[in-house]
Structure 1
Amino acid sequence: MTQPQHVQQQPSFMVPVITGAVFALLVISFFVFGADNPPAEWGKYWQIRPLIITPLAGAIGGTCYAFLNYQSNRGFNRTLAVILGLVIYFVGLWLGTVLGLAGTMWN
């Protein structure tokens, strides 16, 4: 009988993507659901756009983070990959929030 070989398992790609999207949804929910008495010119369903756009931007930022994490496992500097991934994520989250709230809260 042969001994099982220890195979190093690659980290899951979807964990940072889902984490980024959920964190972005929490951030935008703070703004959207905290708006009391929105102006009538925003429309009846003004919350839909930010609640879709911002988590998508968070998921894309999480994808960039996962890619940089993958590259760090292949020899790229780990510290630089984490810092660069976080910077890309937060810039993308900010841009997604601005794009989602454009025309309503971000005017």
Structure 2
Amino acid sequence: MTLQNNFTSRPINTRSLITRMLVGAGIGLALVTFFLIATTHARPEWGQFWMIRPLIVTPLAAAGGGLGTYFMEYLLGYQGGWSKIIAVIISIIGFLISLWLGTVLGFAGTLWN
């Protein structure tokens, strides 16, 4: 008696994955740029290059949120129906949480104490 593996695996679409991560990073970069442009004063204790940290951390966190949206769609979205709707809702909530956490971590110690 031989054991057969009837599971099929779907390939990961790297183009779609990279696109979602880049869109997420672009949204994060736009958000952090908005906050940095609105800043009119910089305290001397923040240092000369205080803007570097939010410009790196926030887009990386948002790109991670884009990665999460891809894999949520990959795991649940292909089934269709209510599974797809739930996957989209969870993806949006997860992306917003990662964007929020990245923004807080990026600006911690400077604009937001």
* Partners of 2:17 and 2:60 in 1: CA distance: 16
For 1:13, what is the secondary structure of its paired residue?
A: helix
Q: Which residue identity is paired with 1:59?
A: A
Gaps of 5+ in 2: 1-12
Matched, 1:66 2:70: yes
Aligned residues: 99
Sequence identity (%): 40
Q: If the length of structure 2 is used for normalisation, what is the TM-score?
A: 0.81
| Distance change >3 Å, CA 98–CA 85, structure 1 → 2 | same
Letter in 2 for 1:37: H
Q: Is 1:27 the equivalent of 2:22? A: no
Alpha-carbon distance between aligned partners in 2 of 1:21 and 1:71, rounded to the nearest angstrom: 22
**C-alpha offsets along residues 20-61 of structure 1, whole Å, 9 cap, x if unaligned?**
000000001111122112111111000000000000000000
CA distance in 2 between counterparts of 1:61 and 1:84 reads: 11
**In structure 2, what is the equivalent of residue 14 of structure 1?**
18
Over aligned residues, Cα RMSD in angstroms?
A: 1.8
Q: In structure 2, how many angstroms separate the alpha carbons of the residues matched to 1:11 and 1:73?
A: 17
Q: Which residue of 2 aligns with 1:98?
A: 104
